[in-house]
Amino acid sequence: MERTIKFRAWNEDDEEMYEDVFLSQKIPDGQKGFLKGLGLNEHIQDATKSFVLMQFTGLVDKNGVELFERDIVQVRSFLGEIMGTYVLEYKLNAFNYYAPGKPEQALYFAQNLVEKIGNVHENKELLDQPQQ
């Protein structure tokens, strides 16, 4: 099975999410050396901006939506009952979902039970909802 490696980035300065992000190094015009930056759809962004990189998990939710680190998902039981709202994060050599006060769960085994409802940067209010 082939794994797709891709990233997205949250720009903390502009509060904007960028999709299809790649890492790049560019030599500034008339200078020697390298300037590290993020390549965003063929544009090299200023290395001084604050970006939070999020890696694609290689998995999709029950609706076929790609899942990235720091996405917020709702997890349902096999019977369709909502079990809680969780955040995706890479820990212990795997992508897991977690919520305060609950044990971490492996995303790989539950991808057909999760539905992406947002991410921690654009939808913080989703994390304030009471956990079941």
Q: What is the pLDDT of residues 97-128, one digit of tens each?
A: 878 777 778 887 787 889 999 999 999 888 87
Query: Scanning the structure block, which residue is given the tokens 């305060």?
Result: 100
CB 68 within 8 Å of CB 55: yes
* CA-wise closest residue to 72 among 60, 51, 86, 56: 86
In the chain, where the domains are located = 7-53, 59-128
Which CATH architecture group holds 59-128? Roll (2.30)
Report the pLDDT value the prediction gives residue 23, as an integer from 0 to 100: 67
Alpha-carbon distance values, 129 to 36, 63, 68, 72, 86 (Å): 39, 23, 21, 12, 11
Euclidean distance between the first and final Cα of the chain, in Å? 36
Q: What is the pLDDT of residue 27?
A: 53
pLDDT under 50: residue ranges of the chain: 34-35, 42
pLDDT computed for residue 70 by the predictor? 94
